[in-house]
């Protein structure tokens, strides 16, 4: 009986394409004791399965010799005052403003905490600006040497060939070193080897200027690949910033701060108001408005209490919560999202897959053909050696597939940049190549089809005018940082309404806020909370219910025990959303909205935009539905 293999994980820097991954995989797989190797270009990692006798130092040295930086990854895995607003029933969810004190607060110790890497799911570190990276410095040095050689050639023609040869060597020596190491590691026909042979051959046929130029362009192509890969990693790494580094663990009657990755399943943690939730779990005690927009796309905070599920990365609003952890850090919601994105990033574009297959045969074929052209005519047909060797080297230089190396990443980078300038985030070459074949498009709601923040849609006056309703509601919301409060204050500012001063402001957890304004007792909260204070007429109830049915969140204003009015808010569709959806429909493309928002709000937005709706989804649900659409033959 043999022991199960041990897995060791490494961060690998400088890995930019599938060719890099293949070279590393081939080299490490040949090492003694290694049973399996998994290399992820997108994550910048390598996982090696090996037995206890493996020399890990030798494995690291082998990867370093190929030109990559490698380092082992370790195994693993302040309360603010309150001011509540209102809770709004949305398909079974209570939406409430978080508790906010109307006085000035110091949030310095309670901001959401960033993390450099997801627990147990690290990424290759970013290298900063491209000109500071190793590849950037080499490319700049080669470019400067090429420019210097050009100047020397003009001033001293006799030294031109030597100057360009020296400029070529500046860039070629690191390339040749990698080629030799790749050959020793089992990849003799690498692009670096062909580049080296072609450049040396160009010098032999007195084309040193062309040789130096080709090497420089090759380095530019590699640098562009590195920039594109770095941006992909940065986009994934930004997801990990949703999870805090530490958690407040309750243990033996004490609460202590501990690394979030060390919190075990079943442990109880304390989540303070304003903090991000550090782990997936179930609320043991407490009730609070939780902002789940980064996770589910829910446009307004969700009121949750005991036994409700919460997700890592969501923001706790107005009250402390005790949460029982249900998933380890390496398997929480954010970790799963990151894995899904990585898997999507790893899928190759059709052209990339073709180049991979093509290069397996093309590169050695070019070398063989060039050798035959250089050797066969002189040996069999009496040709001049100098002339035919020249022809063979010319074929090798012309046949070098550098154009693919240079043009493919450049074209992808240019397309991604053009999309970014137009507000489009394109996930690599596979997306670009499939754009013309698309028959279905799945959209997120919040921030994609909608503006991403609630806005006041209706101001209803019952006992007061609309202007007065907005004025008093804004007065009650001054000092609140809740999204709904911000929308009411923004509407008042746009209407040039100055909120009057309030006194005796009182937050009522989960219900709303009360205060005295201009000598009158006022309350702003949900329909349910308002109904506990005064009796609403059938007309008033019907009016508010109609607004709810349109997917809107409604806050009711009470002044001196009378229903004064109501304010409705909703995350509204973007101005260009309807035009874009109509254009897709006219071209025969099916459109569907996949959102974590509640069914009522999502359905209302879907009707407004004329799009199919799937609501109440988690990230893995969205991926499943996309798979179902693909199973129906849609692209």
Handedness of CA 229, 235, 240, 241 (dihedral sign): positive
Backbone angles phi, psi at 98, to 5 degrees: -70, 160
Distance CA 222, CA 15 (A): 10
Distance CA 616, CA 597 (A): 5
Distance CA 492, CA 480 (A): 14
Check: CB of residue 310 under 8 Å from CB of residue 323. yes
Distance CA 277, CA 269 (A): 9
Backbone angles phi, psi at 573, to 5 degrees: -60, 150
Q: What's the CA angle centered on 431, arms 425 and 432, to 5 degrees?
A: 90
Distance CA 60, CA 50 (A): 13
Q: In whole angstroms, how far apart are CA 375 and each of 90, 338, 369, 387?
A: 80, 54, 10, 11
Greatest CA separation for the chain:
112
Closest CA to 338 of 459, 243, 448, 442: 243
Find where tokens 């005064």 sit: 534
| DSSP H stretches of helix in 449-576 | 466-477, 483-494, 527-531, 538-549
Residues involved in catalysis: 444
Distance CA 41, CA 62 (A): 18
C-beta atoms surrounding 552 within 10 Å: 25
Check: CB of residue 473 under 8 Å from CB of residue 493. no
Q: In whole angstroms, how far apart are CA 402 and each of 41, 138, 192, 198?
A: 21, 18, 10, 10
Distance CA 69, CA 307 (A): 47
Q: Is 607 helix (H, G, I), strand (E, B) or coil?
A: helix
Buried b (16+ CB within 10 A) or exposed e, 314-334: bbbbbbbbbbbbebbbebbbb
Query: CB under 8 Å to 93, separation ≥6 — which residues?
Result: 298, 302, 303, 598
Token representation of residue 462: 């019952």
């Amino acid at each position: 009986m043999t022991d199960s293999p041990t897995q060791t994980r490494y961060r690998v820097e400088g890995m930019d394409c599938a060719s890099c991954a293949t070279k590393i995989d081939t080299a490490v797989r040949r090492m003694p004791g290694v049973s399996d190797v998994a290399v992820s270009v997108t994550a910048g990692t390598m996982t090696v399965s090996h037995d206890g006798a493996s020399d890990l130092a030798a494995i690291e040295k082998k990867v370093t010799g190929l030109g990559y930086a490698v380092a082992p990854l370790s195994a693993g895995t302040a309360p603010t005052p309150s001011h509540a607003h209102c809770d709004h029933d949305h398909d079974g969810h209570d939406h409430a403003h978080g508790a906010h004190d109307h006085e000035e607060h110091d949030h310095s110790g309670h901001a959401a905490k960033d993390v450099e890497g997801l627990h147990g799911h690290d990424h290759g570190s970013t290298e900063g600006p491209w000109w500071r990276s190793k590849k950037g410095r080499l490319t700049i040095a080669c470019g400067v040497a090429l420019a210097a050689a050009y100047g020397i050639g003009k001033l001293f023609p006799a030294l031109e060939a030597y100057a360009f040869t020296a400029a070529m060597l500046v860039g070629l020596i690191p390339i040749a070193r990698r080629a030799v190491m790749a050959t020793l590691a089992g990849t003799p026909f690498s692009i670096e080897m062909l580049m080296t042979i072609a450049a040396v051959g160009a010098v032999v046929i007195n084309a040193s200027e062309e040789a130096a130029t080709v090497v420089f362009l090759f380095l530019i192509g590699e640098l562009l690949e590195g920039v594109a890969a770095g941006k992909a990693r940065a986009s994934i790494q930004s997801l990990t910033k949703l999870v805090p580094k530490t958690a407040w663990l309750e243990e033996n009657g004490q609460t202590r701060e501990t690394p979030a990755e060390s919190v075990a399943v079943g442990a109880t943690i304390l989540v303070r108001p304003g903090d991000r939730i550090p782990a997936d779990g179930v609320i043991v005690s407490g009730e609070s408005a939780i902002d789940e927009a980064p996770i589910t796309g829910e446009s307004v905070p969700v009121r949750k209490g005991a036994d409700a599920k919460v997700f890592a990365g969501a923001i706790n609003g107005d009250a402390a919560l005790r949460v029982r952890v249900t998933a380890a850090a390496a398997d929480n919601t954010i970790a799963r999202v990151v894995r899904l994105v990585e898997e999507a990033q790893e899928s190759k574009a059709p052209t990339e897959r073709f180049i991979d297959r093509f290069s397996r045969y093309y590169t050695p074929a070019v070398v063989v053909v060039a050798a035959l052209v250089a050797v066969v005519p002189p040996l069999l047909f009496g040709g001049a050696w100098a002339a035919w060797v020249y022809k063979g080297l010319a074929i090798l230089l012309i046949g070098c597939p550098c154009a693919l190396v240079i043009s493919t990443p450049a074209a992808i980078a240019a397309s991604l940049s053009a999309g970014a300038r137009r507000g489009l985030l394109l996930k690599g070459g596979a997306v670009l190549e499939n754009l013309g074949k698309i028959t279905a498009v799945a959209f997120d709601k919040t921030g994609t089809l909608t503006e991403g923040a609630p806005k006041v849609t209706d101001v209803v006056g019952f006992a007061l005018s609309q202007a007065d309703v907005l004025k008093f509601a804004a007065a009650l919301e001054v000092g609140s940082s809740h999204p709904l409060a911000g929308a009411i204050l923004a509407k008042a500012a746009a209407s040039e309404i100055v909120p009057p001063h309030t006194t005796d402001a009182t937050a009522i957890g989960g219900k709303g806020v009360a205060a005295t304004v201009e000598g009158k007792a006022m309350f702003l909260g949900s329909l349910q909370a308002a109904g506990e204070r005064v009796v609403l007429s059938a007309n008033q109830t019907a009016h508010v219910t109609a607004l709810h049915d349109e997917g809107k969140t409604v806050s009711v204003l009470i002044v001196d025990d009378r229903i004064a009015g109501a304010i409705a808010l909703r995350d509204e569709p973007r101005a260009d959303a309807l035009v874009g959806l109509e254009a897709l429909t006219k071209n025969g493309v099916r459109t569907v909205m996949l959102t974590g928002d509640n069914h009522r709000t999502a359905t209302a937005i879907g009707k407004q935009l004329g799009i199919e709706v799937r609501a109440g989804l988690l990230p893995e649900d969205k991926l499943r539905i996309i798979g179902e659409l693909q199973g129906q033959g849609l692209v």
